[in-house]
Copies of this chain bind each other. A is one copy, B any other.
Amino acid sequence: MTRGDVPTGPVESELITPEELRLAARNHAMPLEALRYPITPVGLHYLLVHYDIPWIDPAAWRLEVDGRVRRPLSLTLPALRERPGRTIVSTMECAGNGRAELSPRPLSQPWLLEAVGTAEWEGVPLGAVLDEAEPLPDATEVLFTGADRGIEGGIDQHYQRSLPLDEARRDEVVLAHGLNGAPLPPQHGFPLRLLVPGWYGMTNVKWLTRITVLDEPFTGPQQARSYRIRQREEAEGDPVTRMEPRSLMIPPGIPDFLTRRRTVPMGAGLIQGRAWSGWAPVALVEVSTDGGGSWAAAELGGDAASPWAWQSWSYRWEPPAPGEYELCSRATDHAGHVQPTEVVWNLGGYANNAVQRLAVTVVSC
């Protein structure tokens, strides 16, 4: 590859292109030591912005609700904030988390494993807003449009995603105007974003300006082309929806600055982490200290703040001797989904929930 070439297909090399670096610099991962916090502090929650963070004047902003409804609405921000609200702690993960671990590597935001976070979202139930607009009998889907605009796959677009009407009416789906007790920060969708607990991040449209009730499937680029599991461009593929189970470890010991390689002192200690799934609460977390050769159950914290939030786990480990170890953990949820050793590769690099592998060097103190 020479300067000026912009590849568009998957890359065989483990070296990262300048385009991927530009995306990685903008889109923030959650450093894994932040797994310590049950609620991710603002600024550590992962962040993916497809285009630019838009500049929105909250006084001029309106949420329009239109399409196949009897009563179109135009709501101001104060009017939304005055409605009966709901606070939900919810874990959110990017559908592309784990993409950079795939080989060949699909060209997009090169997430390693840290595109996750858990926040306390405050908002108004979407179902109540829809009820007020009175969807017509032929309504089947709800389309969400953000103020963010850019070019993707050659198409000039505002970011748009739809949900089936039944999914949009779930009790816990909210239009969020607050995060961790404060107004939404600009980068998380100020003044209003969608929050669909359990679903991958792309669902939760930020900087909402319009909700349109449809009587047919939405076929925009983020729905029909992106966020589908497929192996070939010409395949229709299966839509990405709920988060697959995943467990992540707080990296033990101390890091090397450049390589991030971990050094752990001899002696008894705890391996700790958090696990989640969008399908059902986590039922089991297992840990391996020999690279997946053998597994043992971790102790679950039972401390998930909601059915849609991660829970903590811990595992007591006393390394038998100094040397090199590969630590792994894997989650199983109550719906029976188990985190795999390896996923089936897909073109967009979505939903790669393969087990985390963490190399550590154990040293005498």
Tell me the A residues contacting B by CB distance below 8 Å: 1, 3, 6, 8, 13-26, 28-29, 31, 33-34, 36-37, 41-45, 47, 49-53, 55, 100, 107-108, 110-112, 114, 149-153, 156, 185-188, 251, 254-260, 263
- Inter-subunit contact A31/B53 (CB<8 Å): yes
Q: Could you give 27 example pairs across A and B, Cβ below 8 Å?
A: A13-B15, A15-B15, A16-B20, A20-B21, A21-B110, A21-B112, A22-B112, A22-B259, A25-B112, A26-B31, A26-B114, A31-B49, A31-B53, A31-B187, A34-B53, A36-B55, A41-B187, A43-B187, A50-B257, A51-B255, A51-B257, A107-B258, A150-B255, A151-B254, A151-B256, A152-B258, A156-B254
Q: How far is the CB of A201 from chain B (nearest CB, A)?
A: 15
Q: In the bound complex, how far is the Cα of B33 from the Cα of A232, in angstroms?
A: 35
- Contact between chains at B254 and A149 (CB < 8 Å): yes
Majority SS of interface residues in chain A? Answer: loop
CA distance A31 to B51 in the complex (A): 11
Q: Is the CB of B47 within 8 A of A263?
A: no
Q: How far apart are the CA atoms of A188 and B43 in the complex, in Å?
A: 10
CA distance A57 to B107 in the complex (A): 41
Q: Verify B151–A263 contact, CB threshold 8 A.
A: yes
